[in-house]
Amino acid sequence: MSAQPPTLFDTRGEQMFPILAPEELKRVRRFGTPHAYRAGDAVIKVGEAGHGLIVVISGEIVVSRRDGLGRHQDVVTEGPGTFLGELAQLTGHPALVDAYAKGPVEAVLVAPESLRALLVAEAEIGERIMRALILRRAGLIATPGVGPIIIGPPDNADVLRLAGFLGRNGQPHDTMDLDTDPEARAIIEHFHIDPASLPIVLCPAGQLLRNPGDNALARCMGMVGPIDSEHLYDVAIVGAGPAGLAASVYAASEGLSVLTLDGRAFGGQAGASARIENYLGFPTGISGMALMGRAYSQAQKFGAEIAIPDQANALAQADCGLRLALASGETARARTVVIASGARYRRLEVPNIEAFEGACVHYWASPLEARLCAGEEVALVGGGNSAGQAAVFLASGARKVWLVIRGPSLAARMSRYLVDRVAGLSNVELVPHAEVSALEGEGGALSSVSWRDLRTNQTTRKPLRHLFLFIGAEPNTDWFAESGPALDANGFVLTGTDVAPAARPMETSMPGVFAIGDVRSASVKRVAAAVGEGAQVVAALHDYLAEASGAVPIPEPQRS
């Protein structure tokens, strides 16, 4: 019998559950308020808004996990010098675990806003706490039975959509298949649900959702709350990709009140990258999800308010600055706006492609998609770095990857290291001078993919169930097309001297509105470039806000 691989709890337990020394506890106390629990008291309840960090002074608190079926299992017992919490406690989002006092307990409650102050003011203690919060969330994600349960066929487009949404937002979840899991069948029978109406989602607090949209699921999970339409933010950032998150981190760390919006998930296209190997400081590479997850946590650490999913639908000037109309029906007001809405994936001009999207036609390659096509042959279209990263990632589990490109070779658009990596994979076959011409299948299930040789017009048909598309993107500017800034001929936002000789860097034709990242005209389409623009735009924001208020601009911060 083979041994089970070690879990995160086994390999990094000391970092996940550090014990603060008495002197450290004294320093933490000034950020919180004392609180006492009696034996058996509920300290944390799944689904309830988080209280912040709970630091144990004396006594013991038992942490247990509870899934959507109401099943409990003890995880860890926290004693004196330890603390309860994970990433949700940075913002007061609902708890993902339960906890109760094993006996009389004395504790210190550090509210979310005080916790963020603690992380900044007490750097050494804050580093240990922040690392523990991140590792605990990672541990919850890797642990079955935590978070909502999605019930439905594993290859169903809506099951994949819901699982992908939760996964890309760093939310623990489980999926159950009606055909293979007796518990799933029992749940369906108990709630009298027609299998044809699947999927359903059971939230940890007991709510049942029938094939919810992303927004409905997020609100049920407490991932996003109402936005105060009367509050005037210093800056609203539309888009939580590399550029938007960088702007969020730098603006919030420099004292600006920040609202960051995204209609789908943090990370943008970079977050969907299986591995980024040419980003400065990561010589062994890092997954896009890991890199963007760190940026997301960092923005929250400095106090940026992040609303996901909450999509901006319109941008207009208002009496006190600028107003964003949101898809939720709410409005957000800000003195300045940074457009970092990036780009949308391009679709192939192939008949009926929309019938297969979600379940069989994919625009990113995450572990979820890799599991779906493990041991199978797949087709992948694209010749840039994203396509190369996806091909390498998928080749580790797929039987074969057909890499279809219109040009003669990969060298024109792909980095040299990726060209060499792809060429060294025996189960990746390059198909040059070709384009996908037809998709066949029934009921949303793909059965074959055909491509045409652009030189000979000869068609090749392969029995494939999955097609991956990495063929570039178009600027995501439709949401402000009627009242927004000026665009170039390709739909990208014009900024700086392209608007006016004396314009601020990154500023658009609308005063107080800036654009960064892939959505900006003439931007360099690289993660590092987007992050750089996100940092650079904050200086322009300070300059604009100072001029608008008649104040002297703050000096540029020292490099660190």
Q: What is the tens place of the pLDDT at every residue in 445-476?
A: 999 999 999 999 999 999 999 999 999 878 99
> pLDDT band at residue 145, thresholds of 50, 70 and 90?
confident
Side chain identity, residue 164: G
pLDDT at 41: 97
CATH of domain 232-344+475-549: 3.50.50.60
Q: What is the tens place of the pLDDT at every residue in 497-508?
A: 999 998 999 999
The answer to whether the beta carbons of residues 103 and 175 sit under 8 Å apart is no
The mean pLDDT of 381-390, rounded to a whole number, is: 94
The mean pLDDT of 46-55, rounded to a whole number, is: 89
- Helix, strand or coil, per DSSP, at residue 489: coil
| Cβ-Cβ contacts under 8 Å for 7 (sequence gap 6 or more) | 139, 142, 143
Strands 105-110 and 33-37: antiparallel
The answer to whether the beta carbons of residues 140 and 97 sit under 8 Å apart is yes
CA distance 80 to 106: 9
Q: What is the tens place of the pLDDT at every residue in 505-544?
A: 999 999 999 999 999 999 998 899 999 999 999 999 999 9
Q: What percent of the chain has pLDDT over 70?
A: 97
Least confident interval from 48-52, 71-75, 230-234: 71-75
> pLDDT band at residue 551, thresholds of 50, 70 and 90?
low
Which range, 5-9, 75-79, 551-555, has the best average confidence (pLDDT)? 75-79
pLDDT at 556: 52
The answer to whether the beta carbons of residues 149 and 182 sit under 8 Å apart is no
- Sign of the torsion angle spanned by Cα atoms 312, 316, 318, 321: positive
pLDDT at 560 over 50: no
pLDDT at 490 over 70: yes
pLDDT at 227 over 70: yes
pLDDT at 69: 59
Mean of the per-residue pLDDT values of the chain: 92
> What CATH fold (topology level) applies to the domain 353-471?
FAD/NAD(P)-binding domain (3.50.50)
Least confident interval from 73-82, 105-114, 191-200, 272-281: 272-281
- Which DSSP state fits 497? G
Please indicate whether the domains covering 149-217 and 232-344+475-549 agree at the CATH topology level: no
What is the token pair recorded at 242?
A: 């590399």
Domain segments of the chain as ranges: 8-141, 149-217, 232-344+475-549, 353-471
CATH of domain 149-217: 3.40.30.10
CA distance 510 to 76: 54
Q: Is 483 or 337 the better-scoring residue by pLDDT?
A: 337
The mean pLDDT of 51-67, rounded to a whole number, is: 91
pLDDT at 474: 87
Strands 305-307 and 258-261: parallel
> pLDDT band at residue 346, thresholds of 50, 70 and 90?
confident
The mean pLDDT of 168-174, rounded to a whole number, is: 92
> pLDDT band at residue 170, thresholds of 50, 70 and 90?
very high
pLDDT at 343: 85
Nearest-10 Cα torsion for 289, 292, 294, 298: -150
Q: Is 21 or 559 the better-scoring residue by pLDDT?
A: 21
Region of 33 on the Ramachandran plot (φ > 0 left; ψ -120 to 50 alpha; else beta): beta
pLDDT at 121 over 70: yes
pTM of the predicted structure, to 2 decimals = 0.87
Region of 192 on the Ramachandran plot (φ > 0 left; ψ -120 to 50 alpha; else beta): left
List residues bridging with 175 in a β-sheet. Answer: 150
The answer to whether the beta carbons of residues 238 and 337 sit under 8 Å apart is yes
The mean pLDDT of 2-24, rounded to a whole number, is: 86
Match 């060298």 to its residue by tokens: 411
- Structurally, at CATH architecture level, domain 8-141 sits in Sandwich (2.60)
> pLDDT band at residue 119, thresholds of 50, 70 and 90?
very high
pLDDT at 155: 87
CA distance 100 to 62: 5
Using alpha carbons, select from 97, 439, 120 the residue that is nearest to residue 255. 120
How many residues in total does the chain contain? 560
Residue 6 burial (C-beta neighbours within 10 Å; 0-12, 13-18, 19+): exposed
pLDDT at 555 over 70: no
pLDDT at 68 over 80: no
pLDDT at 70: 62
Q: Is 195 or 493 the better-scoring residue by pLDDT?
A: 493
- Helix, strand or coil, per DSSP, at residue 548: helix
Which range, 163-172, 347-356, 426-435, has the best average confidence (pLDDT)? 426-435
